[in-house]
Amino acid sequence: MASFKLNGIQQSLDVEPEMPLLWVLRDELGLTGTKFGCGIASCGACTVHVNGLAVRSCVTPVSAIEGQDITTIEGLASVAAGANPSAPSLTAVQQAWIDHQVPQCGYCQSGMIMAVSSLLASNPNPTDAEIDSSITNVCRCGSYPRVRKAIRSLTA
Amino acid sequence: MKISRRRFIVSTAVVGGGVLIGYSATRPSRHRRANAQLASDGAHYVTSFLKITPDNRVTVYVPHAEMGQGIHTSLSMMAADELDANWELVDIEQAPAIDLFANGDLVKGFASELGVPAFLQGLVNASAFKVAEVMNLQITGGSSSVRYTGETAMRTAGAAARQMLLDCAAARWGVPVAECSTSLSYVQHNASGRSLAYGELAADAALLEPATNPVLKTPAQWNIMGKAISRNDIPAKVDGSAPYGIDAHSKDMLYAAIRFAPVFGTKLVSVDDAGLLSRPGVKKVIQLEDSVAVVADNYWRAKEALKLVQAEWETSEFDNVTSADIFAGFDRSLAADDSDQDKEQGDAEAGLSAAVDTIEASYRVPFLAHAAMEPMNCTVHIHGDTADLWTSTQDALGIKGRVAKIAGLSENNVTFHHSYLGGGFGRRLPFNWNVIDHATLIAKQFDVPVKTVLSREDDLQQDYYRPAVSSNFKAAFDGAGKVTTWHNRFTGPIQVAGASHIPYAIENQSIRVVDGPTHVPIAAWRSVDHSQQTFFTESFMDELAHRAGKNPYQFRMDLLQEHPRHRKVLEVAAEAAGYGSNLPEGHALGIAVQESFGSIVAEVAEVSIGADNRPIVHKVTCAIDCGRAINPDTVESQVESGIIFGLTAALYGEISIEKGRVAQNNFPDYEMVRMATSPEIEVHIVESGEALGGLGEPATPPIAAAVTNAIYILTGQRVRELPLSKHNFARNSLANV
């Protein structure tokens, strides 16, 4: 039995301990905002937060997150809002993504937003080199210039 | 070829024989069918693409797939502007996959301008060319949506609807139409101060015949077109709610993991699946002609079980083929020169024999995979004699027909469920059937939905590839240093006519293609033949410039006197990039220009060589003449995207063949540009006012040559083979070039 907190709600599932969190989310729980891209932690499309830190869920066995706090793109804003009923429905990062019209096909953007949110939470004013080394997600549409602009709009 | 001016039925001859018949958006029978089939609750369709409801909201049905190019928004802007709608009251919906929305206008546009697009040639080249089959496509590709569907269907539909609403209001008021005007979803009679909302008129307007040739606005009259409007698909793409084909989900769903014959074209011989069915969740092992699949109640379980399957594949004559063999075959074909004409002008042989100086060079580029971020997938639920279908596709109608055919069902009994596409780039066009067919055959064995998903490895190894091409050049100079002759032989097939042609004023040109067959399946890849040909032609032009001792920018400008649009984008890009002025130490600028899909693009790449002897692309400055920009922000994002797509190919892109199969596995050995390697990009839109050009593809072709032309200046090394990751560059700056 795997137990963890997902977007603020306790979950218990009867799955193999080695099943990657990605497939627990997508196939067992039907939470499809977290994407499958490569299966080997190379592209970052599957990025979620484990205790607030960006983790690639396609190589994270569910046993490794036992008892921990998981946030996915679906819960990003609500977890950030916590008990505050007047909190905006989007986080500042999500809003910056709209303001700068970042996504194209959008498939990688759940992971991109999760990675950037985690970076800015720990390092609110990263250098370009720090952005480059921590945001290694693949965007086949090439939204990178807008990702950088959107990040800069939050750090300036 | 001439397009008939009749609006209802348009027919035109096509290259290769046959006839295309396109039905415009305003054909009366379609308009009535739309009302009968789709209107409800007091809603009325006033044309096939527009719906106006009593609450005065306008819904625009967009018959193209949204894969990040912003097409839902751009096409809706075109219809809404001609309609004089209030953009705040406009809703955008994906048109359902029924033949009412088949895009004959796209086919017509291609037929008149370019011949038939590559992805339709399978149909057209067949002698029994079936108009009905072409009409049954609902294709998004060829950078065509705005310039064909938008210009012909959406704008016309909006203008026709506006005219009907005007006529309807004038009749109701008993005043001449000329006294009435439209604005922000209302018709006004200015003299009496009366006004009626479109929603109040729609029911009566729907009974009128649409005008055959409604007058379109001039750009000065545009209220919505030409403005940077936020895309309607973006909010759902920042909170995880945007549905992609791979997100189809139900409680009772099953999942298939599949392994294909590794050597293209070979078949499955036998399978050892002992013990697999006792694994958790595994339902079935399915043998297909060229593949084996495991179906389970979770994709990971299916994938893990598939790893244990022992499969034997038939042997074939291709089992030991390598990329080196393929290129050696290309060289033999080129040497034999059993070629077909692409373009002949003047007398190239005479030009070469009279030359005072000649230059020769051989170029080549490898196969490339599409590698869309959303791995190929398809979900099919067959229940009795009906089916439901979910997949990310650039041709919903075609896919629906294909699934019906493979499943043995009537097409009318298949329901297609639309989604966004996690990238397309040509991979999700018709004829690239491999996942669709397999998913359907697997789903036939169950009565619940079955989702077939390719692993990234399968996605890379079972693609339909951008062709590898070799291209040989010779050029001749006369005693005055003028280029007199351009001689080019390259390996085919030609997927897009004219990609190898040059705009430069060179008197004698002989451009010919030789057969380059391989066992590797090929298809359109973003910008199609332009991605290879522009690297070749714009690199060789650069070689000529340096041999002539001229600045590469000025050398091109001098030979483009007949092409003012090319000159303009070169000038804008060069000036903005600071061409000719001082650069940081160790930096150089490379330049390239290409016309494709109706747009002309110049790119200047600022490059240096890093400590690891690899190129660093710091900045790309781009000027694009796409006629006019419908949504300037979308133009910029498509240009940024096209450049990075082409840069990825130039820096890293290589699908190589070993033992008859693809050697690459996943992103680590099919690397992508990422944040750290993504250059700054500056986009300048040049509005020439000419016919609208495409945007999804035209920024991709020039980037490779722009980068390698800069590398030549930095190192003296001429790159004639991509990707750049194969090369090691020592810095050795050439002065004053």
- B405-449 pLDDT, tens digit each: 999 999 889 999 999 999 999 999 878 889 999 999 999 999 999
Report the range of poorest mean pLDDT among A76-80, B8-12, B89-93, B269-273: B8-12
Q: Which of B2-6, B274-278, B702-706 has the lowest mean pLDDT?
A: B2-6
Q: What pLDDT is recorded for position B63?
A: 78
Within 8 A of B622 by CB-CB distance, chain A residues are none
pLDDT score of B27 more than 70? no
pLDDT for B98: 66
* pLDDT higher than threshold 70 for residue A83: yes
Look at residue B212 in the predicted model and tell me its pLDDT: 66
Mean pLDDT for the stretch of residues A31-47: 98
Selected residue with higher pLDDT from B702 and B124: B702
Mean pLDDT of chain A: 97
User: Which distant-in-sequence residues (6+ apart) come within 8 Å of B465 by Cβ?
Assistant: B367, B368, B369, B520, B521, B522, B523, B525, B655
pLDDT in tens, B439-496: 999 999 999 999 999 999 999 999 999 999 999 999 999 999 999 999 999 999 998 8
Q: Does B420 touch chain A (CB under 8 A)?
A: yes
Kindly determine whether residue A98 and residue B234, on different chains, have CB atoms separated by under 8 Å.
yes
If we measure between CA atoms, which residue out of B183, B218, B228, B215 comes closest to residue B77?
B228
Chain B CB contacts of A60 below 8 Å: none
- Please answer whether residues A61 and A19 qualify as being in contact, where contact means their C-beta atoms are separated by less than 8 angstroms: yes
Does A145 contact B425 at a Cβ distance shorter than 8 Å? Answer: no
Task: Report the share of chain A in percent with pLDDT over 70.
Answer: 99
Enumerate the residues of chain B whose CB falls inside 8 A of the CB of residue A40. 456, 666-668
Q: Which two tokens stand for residue B156?
A: 């016309």
Angstrom distance (rounded) from CA B711 to CA B733: 9
- Helix (H) or strand (E) segment spanning residue B487: strand B483-491
Looking at residue A107, its pLDDT comes to: 98
**Does B95 score more than 80 pLDDT?**
no
Nearest-CB residue to A38 (from B372, B456, B681): B456
- Mean of pLDDT over chain B: 88
Q: Which of A129-138, B34-43, B180-189 has the lowest mean pLDDT?
A: B34-43
Closest by Cβ to B456, choosing from A19, A37, A139: A37
State the residue for tokens 């709608």.
B85
pLDDT in the model for residue B102: 58
**CB-CB neighbors (< 8 A) of B67 in chain A:** 104-105
The per-type count for chain B, helices as H runs and strands as E runs, is 18, 29
- Predicted confidence band at B33 (pLDDT cuts at 50, 70, 90)? low
Residue B359's nearest CA partner among B260, B477, B463, B443 is B477
> Does the CB of B232 have a partner CB in chain A at under 8 Å?
no
The residues pairing with B692 across neighbouring beta strands, listed in sequence order, are: none
Radius of gyration of the CA atoms of chain B, in A: 27
Q: Is the Cβ pair A38, B453 closer than 8 Å?
A: no
CA distance A108 to chain B (A): 7
Q: Which residue of B has its CA nearest to A137?
A: B674
pLDDT of A144 over the 80 cut? yes
**A103–B238 C-beta distance less than 8 A:** yes
Range A2-78: architecture per CATH: Roll (3.10)
A81-155 in CATH: which number?
Answer: 1.10.150.120
Per-residue pLDDT at B145 = 77
**Interface contact B673-A109, CB threshold 8 A:** no
Q: What is the average per-residue pLDDT within A4-16?
A: 97
Buried b (16+ CB within 10 A) or exposed e, A94-103: bbbbbebbbb
Q: What is the DSSP letter of A1?
A: -
**B positions 43-72 inside 8 Å of A (CB):** 67-70
Given a contact cutoff of 8 angstroms between Cβ atoms, the answer to whether B271 and B261 are in contact is no
Instruction: Work out the average pLDDT over B299-322.
Output: 97
- Read off the pLDDT band of B34 (50, 70, 90): low
Tell me the chain B residues in contact with residue A20 when contact means C-beta distances shorter than 8 Å.
Answer: 300
What residue ranges define each of the domains in chain B, with the CATH number in brackets?
9-227 (3.30.365.10), 246-316+376-453 (3.30.365.10), 337-356+465-726 (3.30.365.10)
Contact assignment for A38 to B645 by CB distance below 8 Å: no
% of chain B surpassing 70 pLDDT: 86
Cβ pair B570, B557 in contact under 8 A? yes
pLDDT tens track for B362-392: 999 999 999 999 999 999 999 999 999 999 9
Range name among A3-7, A129-133, B197-201, B663-667 with the lowest pLDDT average? B197-201
- What DSSP assignment string belongs to B214-226? PPPPPGGG-SSTT
Q: Which regions of chain A carry the CATH code 3.10.20.30? A: 2-78
In chain A, ranges of CATH 1.10.150.120 domains: 81-155
B158's tokens = 């909006």
What pLDDT, on a 0 to 100 scale, did the predictor assign at position B32? 60
B660: Cβ contacts below 8 Å, ≥ 6 apart: B262, B263, B264, B316, B318, B319, B320, B321, B519
Report which of A53, A48, A123, A39 is spatially closest to residue B299, judged by C-alpha positions: A39
Q: Do you find a cis peptide bond into B449, omega within 30 degrees of 0? A: no
